[in-house]
């Protein structure tokens, strides 16, 4: 059931009709503090996941857990992750922020990194929690941007075999069609990603000097060129287009068998027209799509309020 817009969502005056400001300003200035406890989980392939727990004290011995997935070049410390966890704690959820491989502040061990299609780690984490933390009888999932793509893909490819402990999910700023999104990404965002990714590659090259070549890195002008040179070969894809085609979550929507709400703002500068599958949502039993006029990319700042529109909708969706 698609919702064309949210009538109660009023963005700040500074960002009216400007998705770029909604995207950039909250990331620069919004701060939400959460008390985390770090846990390192060893993976079957010899690598590790660093996850950050936020145990709420308002409802002792809660049976509910919210797992939150960050976006590209993000971490558990990003404001949209901490804000989401802090808000969900008020309705009785413990929080668990998952840091993708190489994003926790310590480089992961294997040659590979994280990427848009990596659903294996979230599936492992859910099953790990189910086995080792029997006090939890309900898990909900929240994903932002890259995390949203992973989440929607995970629901779609798992179908009826999704772990039963998962009740529902919520995804924001989800790039349903990575090929068009990659080509549409403007230089200001691309430049920031490339600077951050170079630092990550340089650190990885210390352990794999014969596998990571940074020569002429400055000649890379867009994300497609980066993905051709690094993401695709490091993760088993022929090239960037092969990677985009195989990991974009839009092709997995028919397999979704558990409720998931996707919220993509119409002014999101990262998304293209192919990222608003309204007709599919109309006929889908489990996919809910909301497309507010404003919000930018993982912005959703609300006028005169301390919590974001993303957090308001999460409280309603999971309550």
Tens digit of each residue's pLDDT (9 = 90 or more) over 20-41: 989 988 888 899 999 999 999 9
Hunting for tokens 């690598």 — which residue is that?
47
pLDDT band for position 4 (cuts 50, 70, 90) = very low
Which domains, ranges and CATH numbers included, belong to the chain? 13-175+249-318 (3.40.50.1820), 178-247 (no CATH)
pLDDT band for position 133 (cuts 50, 70, 90) = very high
**Residue 263: CA atoms inside 13 Å, Cβ hemisphere, count?**
27
pTM: 0.95
Size of the chain in residues: 319
Give Cβ neighbours of residue 164 (< 8 Å, ≥ 6 apart).
none
Q: Is the pLDDT of residue 222 over 70?
A: yes
Tens digit of each residue's pLDDT (9 = 90 or more) over 103-129: 999 999 999 999 999 999 999 999 999
Give Cβ neighbours of residue 294 (< 8 Å, ≥ 6 apart).
9, 11, 15, 16, 17, 19, 22, 265, 266, 267
| Phi, psi dihedrals of residue 254, rounded to the nearest 5° | -65, -20
pLDDT at residue 26 in the model: 87
Question: What are the catalytic residues?
Answer: 145, 268, 297
Q: What is the largest CA-CA distance in the chain?
A: 55
Tens digit of each residue's pLDDT (9 = 90 or more) over 271-310: 999 999 999 999 999 999 999 999 999 999 887 788 999 9
């Amino acid at each position: 059931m698609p919702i064309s817009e949210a009538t109660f969502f009023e963005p700040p005056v500074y960002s009216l009709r400007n998705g770029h400001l909604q995207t950039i300003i909250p990331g620069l200035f919004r701060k939400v503090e959460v008390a985390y406890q770090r846990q390192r989980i060893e993976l079957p392939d010899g690598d590790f996941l660093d996850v950050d727990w936020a145990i709420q004290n308002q409802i002792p011995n809660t049976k509910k857990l919210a797992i939150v997935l960050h976006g590209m070049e993000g971490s558990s410390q990003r404001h949209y992750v901490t804000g989401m966890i802090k808000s969900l704690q008020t309705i009785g959820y413990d929080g668990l922020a998952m840091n993708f491989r190489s994003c926790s502040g310590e480089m992961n061990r294997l040659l590979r990194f994280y990427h848009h299609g990596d659903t294996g780690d979230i599936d492992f984490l859910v099953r790990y929690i189910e086995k080792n933390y029997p006090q939890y009888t309900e898990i909900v999932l929240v994903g932002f941007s890259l995390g949203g793509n992973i989440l929607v893909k995970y629901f779609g490819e798992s179908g009826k075999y999704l772990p039963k402990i998962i009740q529902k999910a919520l995804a924001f700023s989800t790039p349903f069609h990575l090929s068009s999104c990659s080509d549409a990404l403007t230089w200001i965002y691309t430049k920031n990603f490339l600077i951050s990714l170079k630092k990550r590659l340089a650190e990885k090259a210390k352990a794999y000097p014969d596998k990571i070549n940074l020569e002429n890195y400055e000649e890379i002008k867009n994300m497609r060129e980066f993905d051709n040179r690094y993401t695709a070969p490091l993760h088993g894809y022929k090239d960037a287009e092969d990677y985009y085609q195989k990991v974009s979550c839009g092709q997995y929507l028919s397999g979704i068998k558990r409720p998931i709400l996707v919220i993509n703002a119409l002014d999101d500068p990262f998304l293209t027209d192919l990222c608003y599958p309204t007709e599919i949502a109309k006929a889908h039993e489990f996919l809910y799509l909301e497309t507010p006029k404003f919000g930018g990319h993982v912005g959703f700042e609300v006028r005169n309020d301390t919590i974001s529109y993303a957090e308001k909708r999460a409280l309603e969706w999971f309550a």
